[in-house]
Amino acid sequence: MDDTSRRGVLQGMGTGMLTALAGRGLAAVPAPAPGRKLGYAIVGLGGYATRQIMPQFRDCDHSRLVALVSGTPGKLTRYAAEYDIPASNLYSYATFDRIRDNPSIDIVYIVLPNSMHAEYSIRAAQAGKHVLCEKPMAVSVAECEAMIAASRKANRKLMIGYRSRFEPYNQLAIQLARGGHVGPTRIITAEHGFNAQPGQWRLDRAMSGGGSLMDIGIYSLNAVRYLSGEEPVSVTAVESTDRRDPRFRTVEDRIDFMLRFPSGIVANCVSSYSSNHNAYRVNGTDGFIAMEPATPYEGQRMMIRKDGVTAPRVLPKPPKTQFVGQLDHLAICVMTDQQPIVAGEEGLADLHVMEAIYRSAREGRAVTLRS
Ligand code: NDP
């Protein structure tokens, strides 16, 4: 069963089936009561958490928002009132570890600046909680490995916020590309970028771990990996950064990278903090699958060329958003003791390649990756 059909089956499961599966889970993973929604704590009440994620819980079947963690007391007051969260479920970063004593929290969703992902994911696992961590998983391979080790030791799930895997157009693009709908894939192009505004943590390497690649170029990288279904064997990268631009004192602006895959697929990718891109295109022997925009919050558009005819592919509006799909997927995985489709290993795989991209750009040569 491929990822997409497996997800379809899981999402279609009734509570009885979930309970039966939970019964087969490891003894150390307590089975939730039938129909129970798992409780999420959101850590870091910034733009993405408050504007995109928190409003989604009202549409979730298996997830509910039960706790908040913030360094800003005013946000705790405001959002606790908005989402009806009791004072006993509000935490600061200093009191974070007390989530251990709160059984209503099943999953901790880390929506902090990148350099804080590893620390809070590990502390959450040590507190006995499952973790959903935003992308990039962390700022180094070593941090990713420590996060995976901590979740394994605690026998808890770890998932990365690769929301596009829960978005129908991207799911279809994966099926079509890997299924050879336009012939075997030969070349994939992927472009992601936006014009970064000054004065934010994303432009401070100590907080972000890097520039456009860590933040937005990761969408190009992750897409070419999920569209090909393969891991790259080599990378060649070129960085273009105007260091006189005050935004780019410590992080890169543009980094273009080419990946070679075992089957012979070549991916050409753009990552930019000074130009606007959101697209990918899978070129097969017989046509192409193009998505533009490819990975926004909503409004994906797909165009397919096959047998000499180019036509848009329009899907019905899905009943649930990609954000709801993501939140409920981890809840279902916890209840059924399944590995998330975007587990920690997926974030680690991206970091492996990103470290090689930076190295290639720095050393001006192709870098070979472990297959
Ligand atoms: P914001 O700057 O809007 O929010 C980050 C929050 O982290 C802050 O509001 C603050 O919340 C908390 N924080 C704690 N310490 C610090 C610190 N030293 N400096 C700054 N903030 C701090 O960032 P985003 O919400 O845009 O991004 C957060 C994460 O989500 C990133 O990893 C990013 O890559 C990811 N993201 C993912 C997206 C996706 O589509 N998957 C889209 C956007 C972001 P508080 O005041 O509550 O402590």
Residue 330 located in a structural domain: no
pLDDT in tens, 152-178: 999 999 999 999 999 999 999 999 999
Residue 18 located in a structural domain: no
Q: Are residues 226 and 363 in the same domain?
A: yes
Q: What is the mean pLDDT of residues 353-360?
A: 98
In angstroms, rounded to a whole number, what is the distance separating the alpha carbons of residues 212 and 192?
9
Q: Give the pLDDT score at 33.
A: 54
Is pLDDT at 128 greater than 70 in this prediction?
yes
Residue 254: give its domain's CATH number: 3.30.360.10
E strands, 84-201, are: 90-91, 107-110, 130-133, 158-160, 185-193
Is pLDDT at 27 greater than 50 in this prediction?
no
From 40, 135, 162, 358, active-site residue? 135
Q: Are residues 118 and 248 in the same domain?
A: no
User: Cis omega (within 30 of 0) on the bond before 136?
Assistant: yes
Q: pTM surpassing 0.75?
A: yes
135 carries an active-site annotation? yes
Q: Are residues 229 and 139 in the same domain?
A: no
Report the nearest atom of ligand 1 relative to the CA of 75.
Answer: 47
Residue 176 located in a structural domain: yes
From 79, 91, 169, 219, active-site residue? 219
Q: Whose CA is nearest to atom 42 of ligand 1?
A: 48
Ligand 1 contacts (CB < 6 A) are 44-49, 70-72, 75, 111-114, 134-135, 161, 163, 201, 215
Q: Give the pLDDT score at 36.
A: 79
Q: Whose CA is nearest to atom 17 of ligand 1?
A: 113
Residue where a domain stops, chosen among 134, 160, 186: 160
pLDDT in tens, 50-92: 999 999 999 999 999 999 999 999 999 999 999 999 999 999 9
Q: Are residues 180 and 54 in the same domain?
A: no
If DSSP codes are grouped into helix, strand and coil, which group holds residue 49?
helix
Q: Are residues 220 and 353 in the same domain?
A: yes
Q: Give the pLDDT score at 34.
A: 54
In angstroms, rounded to a whole number, what is the distance separating the alpha carbons of residues 179 and 185?
9
Tally the domains of the chain.
2
Q: Are residues 114 and 193 in the same domain?
A: no
Q: Are residues 107 and 212 in the same domain?
A: no
Q: Whose CA is nearest to atom 38 of ligand 1?
A: 48
Q: Are residues 224 and 86 in the same domain?
A: no
In angstroms, rounded to a whole number, what is the distance separating the alpha carbons of residues 28 and 15?
21
Structural domain span for residue 46: 31-160
Exposure string for 302-331, b = 16+ CB within 10 A, e = fewer: bebbbeeeeeeeeeeeeebbbbbbbbbbbb
Q: Are residues 291 and 229 in the same domain?
A: yes
Q: Which of 43, 48, 78, 298 to mutate to test the pocket of ligand 1 (most atoms within 8 A of CB)?
A: 48
Contact 232, 355 (CB under 8 A): no
Q: Are residues 127 and 172 in the same domain?
A: no
Residue where a domain stops, chosen among 110, 125, 160: 160
If DSSP codes are grouped into helix, strand and coil, which group holds residue 161?
coil
Structure tokens at 340: 């998330």
Q: Are residues 274 and 307 in the same domain?
A: yes
Which residue from 260, 267, 301 is spatially nearest to 283, judged by alpha carbons? Answer: 267
Q: Are residues 119 and 197 in the same domain?
A: no
